Chain A
């Protein structure tokens, strides 16, 4: 059973548009949700994270929207740039991240100039 689901599997948007990446989870004990960005041949890099006590977290062009009741969250990337082209992983953890992280399968984002 996949604990963290992501959609779509791949997404293409034009430069300057907003990309929306979706994520849902099963385990009610999850309370920490990091998003990681991964470029080919590199390790995942922490992009932005949110704790379940918040419903929104913003960092520059990246915003997480979190709906605890529906167990859903989304990552919005505004003013998308070609350099944002990467695979984005939604992840979840209990104990505010101080233990194993469960990853989704990822969304491959392509930004067309």
Chain B
């Protein structure tokens, strides 16, 4: 069974619209992350959360907003979408700072295309 679920797998949006990318993990981790991968840039860190609190934000734009409704959920809301937002977005999780292990495990990704 998949341990990190990302929905949807593919997403097409029009410029200016808003979308939410879903991430759920069943690894018992309390730290979750979002990364982005595009043709122009390597895997790029966006956010980290620990125990549902924001720990680090490397995203310049406020159009990207993580939402954590449960400790094993970290969704990503993207508003006012632009074609440059087209990328594959990966959710990851790990034990938090000071936890048992540092390894971050990645989900299968959501591939977003903005037209």
Contact = CB atoms under 8 A, between A and B. Distances in A.
Interface in A61-107: 89, 91, 93, 95-106
Interface in B84-115: 90, 94-99, 102-109
B43 A97 contact: no
B103 A98 contact: no
Given A98-B31, A99-B97, A45 B106 contact: yes
A contacts with B: majority SS:
mixed
B42 A46 contact: no
Given A89-B42, A97-B94, A100-B33, A46 B104 contact: yes
A8 interface: no
Interface residues of A, number: 24
A93 B103 CA distance: 11
B94 to A, nearest CB: 7
Contacts of B108: 42-43
Residue among B33, B42, B48, B108 with the most chain A CB within 10 A?
A: B42
Given A99-B48, A99-B55, A101-B35, 17 more contacts: A32-B102, A36-B106, A43-B108, A43-B109, A44-B90, A45-B106, A46-B105, A93-B102, A97-B94, A98-B94, A98-B97, A98-B98, A99-B97, A100-B33, A100-B48, A102-B45, A105-B42
